[in-house]
Amino acid sequence: MIKIITAMTNEKVIGKGKVLPWRIKEELAHFKKTTLNNTIIFGQTTYQNIPSLKERTIIVLSNNMSFIPNENDTVLRNLDETFLNQYKGEKNLYVCGGASIYKLFLPYTDELIISYIKHNYVGDVFFPDFDTEQFKLIRSENYSEFVVKYFQRL
């Protein structure tokens, strides 16, 4: 299954420059718990601006031919059917950003896991628009500074 995981404000802010505009330990713990021992994919800019993530298989989507990832991580130069077909069924792929990667994967996404941050933060990077009628809210979890909503494609 292809799952998008993100944190955003109600205005869909996901970043300011190349970083998160918030630092919420509980939300980071949710991300870690959800993605641990799974495959995650980032765009190159997001990948280069995050700390090292252990106990995950990391793929970086980048068409920059001179880009070389860390030793145990993999580069994917383009998105194709062969790659997408690996994640039909039980095997999970967590799409972790940035905005252009989210937009690219939205048509193929089976589930959205969105942490809605309760405080409004200013930012200049936004989660792309998507058709809410294509997804159904299946559950939510309330935390002190955010609410996680799980949406499944209809």
CATH superfamily of 2-153: Dihydrofolate Reductase, subunit A (3.40.430.10)
pLDDT of residue 87: 95
**pLDDT of 89 over the 90 cut:** no
Domain boundaries, the chain: 2-153
pLDDT of residue 51: 86
Q: What is the mean pLDDT of residues 70-95?
A: 94
Collapsing DSSP to helix, strand or coil, 15 comes out as strand
Cis ω for the linkage preceding 97 (within 30 of 0): no
* Tens of pLDDT, residues 98-152: 999 999 999 999 999 999 999 999 999 999 999 989 999 999 999 999 999 999 9
pLDDT of residue 59: 97
The pair phi, psi for residue 46, each rounded to 5°, is -65, -45
DSSP 44-57: HHHHHTS----SSE
Confidence of residue 52 (pLDDT cuts 50, 70, 90): confident
User: What token pair was written down for 61?
Assistant: 């989507």
